Chains A and B, each alone.
Chain A
Amino acid sequence: MKKLYLLDDAIISPLGFSTKENIQSIREGNSGLKLQQRPEITENPFFAGIIDETLLNQAFSEIGSSEKFTKLEKLIILAVKLILNKNRNLDPTKTALIIATTKGNIDLLNEPGGFPINRLKLSELGKVVANFFGFAQTPIIVSNACISGGLGLAVARRLGNSEKIKNAIVVGADLVSDFVISGFNSFQALSTKACKPFSKDRDGISLGEAAAAIMVSTEKPEISNVISLIGDASANDANHISGPSRTGEGLYKSIQKALKEASISAEEIGFLSAHGTATVYNDEMESMAFQRSALQKSPLHSLKGFYGHTLGASALIESIITKHSMLNNEIFASKNFEELGVSKPLNVIQKNEKKEIRYALKTASGFGGCNLALVFKAEKQ
């Protein structure tokens, strides 16, 4: 199967409005999570990573009029714009646009804010973004719970492999809306602390919002150092729609399939970007799947302590950070990790390190029992 090359990228999040700013924050250990009080939804304060609307509108005013677009649309447009600015030769009429999101403009359900009701539809969100830049092909919208962003990359590679597309921009984006706060709160899944992936005293997720975008191509770029996607697989647990399999069955299966496709062994994985939502069951399930996959020694982190769980954006953001870790030979500490609190051993990264990585693995899991594994390769000269 053909490789998918990861080219320019952009992340718009509480950590900054470019990939560079995001990585600098992570390097310095600065989290985007802040204490939120929403007594109308829950009496308990909780942590979430929310993008300041004033800063966003300020940044957006340079490229468009803020009042014409929803918050999520502005995040996506800013991210895509950053990529197009650096790639003036890219022809949007010949580039596929793949948008991954779980809930899109769901905030409009409660507060339409003057936008027409059809703006709630994910296809409309796609149209707004495509029209802004003049993408001619109908955007491909992936909505597959918390693996969406990573699945977007897999979709690009698969369609690239069968020569349906060559170049694409893959976007992942979601908001911290009242809708998702209420939902996760109804599950009693929100932590009252900033979330603590894989730690003993973890007690739930923190939510986050962000948009990320990355340009990808099946054609090898003329640059000396490049990261490519060489193995990808998804697998359903076939166990439960809102809880992970206790044995990590689907995640294990997807890791095995992705490694097999990449023709490498688990020992060759130099870095593992885990999902690590910090719920009791999710992190435990991941530790089971990683042990079954002989990955217990791979240095691993979760970025949820920096971003919170950005839902449909998370696996794409984490893939982008992985890409830069591979290019820069540096791996980042797992924020808020203290004492290991899962039943199987894991090598959680406790401080930033310099490390050369040849192969890296990104995993994600989500509601509906879905799991995803992506294997990346560094080609350096």
Chain B
Amino acid sequence: MSNQFHIQNWVKIKNGKIFNSEKLIFDSSEKELNFFLKACYDFLDLKYPKFHKMDGLSKMGILASEIIFRKNKPTEDTALVISNNASSLEIDRQFQESTETFASPSLFVYTLPNIVLGEISIKYKLQSENAFFVSEDFNAKLLKDYTESLLISGKSHQVLSGWIDLQNGEYDVFLCLVSKERNIPFSEENLRKLYCAENDKPTH
């Protein structure tokens, strides 16, 4: 079967570990989400103070895309196609709690899942196509079909595609960079394989 598009680079963040194209690059024993995210920030020597104001989803999006974009510089039209299971429910709950005393505008801004796309766009100056999908499980078919549709139609020449989920402090991130350049064939099977490879258990 011929594959027109290819995965240039991928990153996986789960259970304290960061894998970058099959290499374990970071392993932390921090159990608590915010400590882990801070440890990743220090490991990458990110120097991006805005990071500390973000919610968990956005922080994970920035960390994962930084790892990819350090190796493969994004272009102006690098599109973002991200999905997850829990939408922004983690921060939704925090905002809901805040309404019992004083509704927090700084929490409310993060109560949409696509805010992570905005944060990635700001950091890497991407004025490109955005789409956020919600699905029960990692939906390789949807990610492949939609990512391909952007590449086929020429709306984008490169797509950062994947999954950034956060619920009850548990995180699960998989992002890959897809373009025409030859590498790992961009197929549903390969997406599933890469996403599942480092997962101890199937998602949820």
Contacts and interface: CB of A to CB of B under 8 A. Distances in A.
B109 A122 contact: no
B87 interface: yes
A367 B153 contact: no
A253 to B, nearest CB: 6
B105 A186 contact: yes
Contact of A238 (B95, B105, B122): B122
B121 A369 contact: yes
Contacts, number: 157
Interface string B61-91: 0000000000000000000100001110100
Counting chain A CB atoms within 10 Å of each CB, the highest count among B93, B114, B142 belongs to B114
Nearest to A184: B108
A106 B155 CA distance: 33
Contacts of B129: 233-235
Given A103-B92, A238-B127, 12 more contacts: A144-B130, A151-B131, A161-B153, A182-B95, A183-B95, A186-B105, A186-B108, A235-B129, A236-B80, A238-B121, A242-B109, A250-B127
B183 interface: no
Interface residues of B, number: 50
Interface stretch (B11-19, B39-47, B144-152): B144-152
B162 interface: no
B139 A138 contact: yes
Given A250-B127, A368-B115, A370-B118, A121 B153 contact: no
A145 interface: yes
B34 interface: no
B190 interface: no
A104 B111 CA distance: 12
Contact of A141 (B103, B124, B134): B134
Contacts of A329: none
B112 interface: yes
Contacts of A366: 112, 114
B126 A238 contact: yes
A183 to B, nearest CB: 4
Q: 7 shortest A-B CB distances, which residue pairs?
A: A368-B118, A183-B108, A158-B149, A123-B136, A186-B103, A236-B121, A122-B134
Chain B at the A interface: mostly helix, strand, loop or mixed? mixed
B191 interface: no
B56 interface: no
A250 to B, nearest CB: 6
A158 B134 contact: no
Interface string B123-141: 0111111111111100100
A140 B115 CA distance: 19
Contacts of B155: 158, 233, 257
Contact of A237 (B93, B119, B127, B131): B127
A183 B153 contact: no
A370 B153 contact: no
A218 interface: no
B177 interface: no
A147 to B, nearest CB: 9
Contacts of B108: 182-183, 186-187
B99 interface: yes
Counting chain B CB atoms within 10 Å of each CB, the highest count among A161, A242, A368, A370 belongs to A368
B121 A109 contact: no
B133 A140 contact: yes
A334 interface: no
A105 to B, nearest CB: 11
A182 B113 CA distance: 18
Interface in A111-133: 120-123, 127
Contact of B103 (A158, A182, A233, A250): A182
A284 interface: no
A159 B145 contact: yes
Contact of B128 (A102, A106, A236): A236
Nearest to A236: B121
Contacts of B122: 238-241, 369
B96 interface: yes
A159 B104 CA distance: 38
Contacts of A143: 87, 112-114, 132-134
Contacts of B173: none
A271 to B, nearest CB: 25
A251 B142 CA distance: 26
B166 interface: no
A89 to B, nearest CB: 26
B127 A236 contact: yes
A178 interface: yes
